[in-house]
């Protein structure tokens, strides 16, 4: 099927578990109130670590959506996934009893998978002096990053395409991109797509500390994530999950679904430059954004808002700002750009989905979320980053960027739905 004849894809349901809210509504309200999700780590004793804070999910009760028995057999990242999925399906108002489940799929990823499960099971092994009889039979099914997609399918009996994606911080953007392509190819009418992550654990914090990637602003965690600020010193680890219910326009219209926005295009590239640093000038990001705009059948001047990758690291913020200027030229000065990671922290494999939700809601409500903690702009970052507070604005089309270790670049394009 040619792209010209491909079905239009729309967003009908949203589910989010984040450091600033455990529902779609609370997440949106958290952004609108410029709330920081960063605080001292409570999941383990981080006293000896260079970074002793993170953006943890707070007051989370998985039994609102899954049974206690299921909780015991799921890593935290899968629990986040299930909660987000249940809320997204409820939000979409879709009844799978009345839907061809063979044409309903799940594409759901995690950048790292069950790190807490590995931590606990390895500790069991060490506590037994290396004797493996205390390793749980659920160890592998809890660990593997594709298992969340499997659990979601089992919950709803969805028998269409089903798998997980892994591309570091671009993971769940690739989940959404794959879902779009599957539906455009005619292989599904409905796909639940997104990602989750739960790596606020000793090896997660310790590993990123070893790379010097995390902020060490331990005296004031709430101001540590400061994208595009001259005094940024690294990202803040976050956790959570997000999922979007995607449908072909025909399927959504036939059941009278509420439509948030249209998922219009994607751009997928790689820097082929360095395992962690972006290419000079954001060259890979430039191609990714250009492809997404072109795939959506739009012009650069049609884009009003960019939800930036905006990690609060020295390399990313500068290169992404340069890339946006390269793509949009003079139009960049009339666009709004913000980093919601300033509030949520960096959710790694879940970032793309959660930020796609933020972008979708920005279009739905016609309000650009803010970049908080931007008090001293970096002279190399010269765009309008919606500093401090959210800003009402006409947003007809928007991009969401995610870039991952390995040089992976994914840009998603959303636009206001017009019947």
Q: Which residues are catalytic?
A: 169, 309, 346
Dihedral sign (CA 337, 330, 174, 417): positive
Token readout for 106 is 């799940």
> From CA 67, how far away is CA 61, in angstroms rounded?
11
| 356, 242 Cβ separation under 8 angstroms | yes
Instruction: Quote the CA–CA distance of 258 and 13 in Å, as a whole number.
Output: 8
* Three-class DSSP category at 140: helix
Task: Classify 315 as helix, strand or coil.
Answer: helix
Residue pointed to by tokens 């004849």:
5
Q: Which residues, at least 6 apart from 131, have a Cβ–Cβ distance to it below 8 Å?
A: 125
**Cα(244)–Cα(241) distance, rounded to whole angstroms?**
11
Helices (H) and strands (E) in the chain, counts: 13, 14
Give dist(CA 323, CA 332) in Å, integer: 10
Coil, strand, or helix at residue 146? coil
């Amino acid at each position: 099927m040619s792209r010209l004849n491909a079905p239009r894809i729309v967003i009908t349901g949203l589910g989010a578990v984040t450091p600033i809210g455990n529902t779609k509504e609370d997440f949106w309200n958290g952004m609108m109130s410029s709330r920081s999700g960063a605080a001292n780590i409570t999941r383990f004793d981080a006293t000896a670590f260079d970074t002793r804070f993170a953006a943890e999910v707070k007051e989370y009760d998985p039994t609102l959506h899954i049974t206690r028995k299921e909780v015991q057999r799921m890593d935290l990242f899968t629990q986040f996934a299930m909660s987000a999925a249940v809320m997204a399906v409820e939000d979409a108002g879709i009844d799978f009893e009345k839907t061809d489940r063979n044409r309903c799929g799940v594409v759901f990823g995690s950048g790292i998978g069950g790190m807490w499960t590995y931590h606990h099971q390895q500790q069991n092994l060490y506590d037994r002096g290396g004797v493996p009889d205390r390793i749980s039979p659920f160890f592998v099914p809890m660990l593997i990053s594709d298992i969340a997609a499997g659990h979601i399918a089992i919950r709803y009996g969805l028998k269409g395409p089903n798998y997980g994606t892994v591309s570091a911080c671009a993971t769940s953007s690739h989940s959404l991109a794959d879902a779009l392509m599957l539906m455009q190819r005619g292989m599904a009418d409905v796909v639940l797509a997104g990602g989750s992550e739960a790596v606020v654990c000793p090896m997660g914090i310790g590993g990123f500390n070893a790379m010097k990637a995390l902020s060490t602003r331990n005296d004031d965690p709430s101001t540590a994530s400061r994208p595009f600020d001259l005094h940024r010193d690294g990202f803040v680890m976050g956790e959570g999950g997000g999922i979007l219910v995607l449908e072909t326009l025909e399927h959504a219209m036939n059941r009278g679904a509420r439509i948030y926005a249209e998922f219009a295009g994607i751009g997928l590239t790689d820097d082929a430059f360095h395992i962690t640093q972006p290419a000079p000038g954001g060259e890979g990001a430039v191609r990714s954004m250009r492809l997404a705009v072109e795939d959506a059948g739009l012009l650069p001047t049609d884009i009003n808002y960019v939800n930036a990758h905006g990690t609060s690291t020295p390399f990313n913020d500068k290169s992404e700002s340069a890339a946006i200027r390269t793509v949009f030229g003079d139009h960049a000065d009339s666009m709004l750009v913000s980093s919601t990671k300033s509030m949520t922290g960096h959710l790694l494999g879940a970032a793309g989905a959660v930020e796609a939700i933020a972008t979708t809601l920005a279009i739905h409500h016609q309000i650009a979320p803010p970049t908080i903690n931007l008090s001293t702009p970096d002279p190399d970052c010269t765009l309008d980053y919606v500093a401090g507070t959210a800003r009402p604005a006409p947003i007809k089309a928007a991009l969401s960027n995610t870039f991952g270790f390995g040089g992976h670049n994914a840009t998603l394009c959303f636009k206001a739905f017009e019947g």
